[in-house]
Amino acid sequence: MPDNNDFDDFDDLNHDIELDSLLLNKRISVRYRRNDIKAMIKTHSLFFPKLFRVNLIDISSKGAAVQSDNKLKLKSRITFFLQFADGKRFTINASVAHVHSAPRYGLKFDLYQGELAEHLLHTQTDLEFG
């Protein structure tokens, strides 16, 4: 009777899988593409804080992609303001996670935004996901 362990070395499913190598897009939460949300960023500079409007590319409960003519530095601390068409507002502390494709920037929220996730879902009208 053959030993079942002889086949373990040839079983592709038995090997450790590095998930990061398999996932090109490492985003875990659903991103919504919305053009009905106004977005602004306030930089946290001691001497020259700035408040400016940005174009929202996509958003989730964990982060957002924005486009801006104003330069943002990697890992800089910001406050992200959102205003929905129904008047609902969100103020979110975040950091700049990606700048390599400026003027497009990736923002990572400090905390999971459950209330934002619910509001995004309930106000979604055209079901275009990123």
Domain ranges of the chain: 28-123
For 72, the 3-state DSSP assignment is coil
Burial 81-115 (b: 16+ CB within 10 A, else e): bbebeeeeebebebbbeebeeeeebbbebeeebee
Question: Do residues 79 and 93 lie in contact, with contact meaning Cβ atoms separated by under 8 Å?
Answer: yes
Please check the confidence at residue 17 and state whether its pLDDT lies above 50.
no
pLDDT class of 6 with cuts at 50, 70, 90: low
> How much is the pLDDT for 19?
47
> How much is the pLDDT for 102?
79
Please check the confidence at residue 96 and state whether its pLDDT lies above 60.
yes
In angstroms, the CA 30 to CA 124 distance is 12
**Domain at 28-123, CATH homologous superfamily:** predicted glycosyltransferase like domains (2.40.10.220)
Question: Which residue reads 């400090």 in tokens?
Answer: 110
As beta bridge partners, residue 41 has 52, 80
For 116, the 3-state DSSP assignment is helix
For 75, the 3-state DSSP assignment is coil
Q: What element of type H or E holds 95?
A: strand 89-101
**Averaged over 39-57, what is the pLDDT?**
94
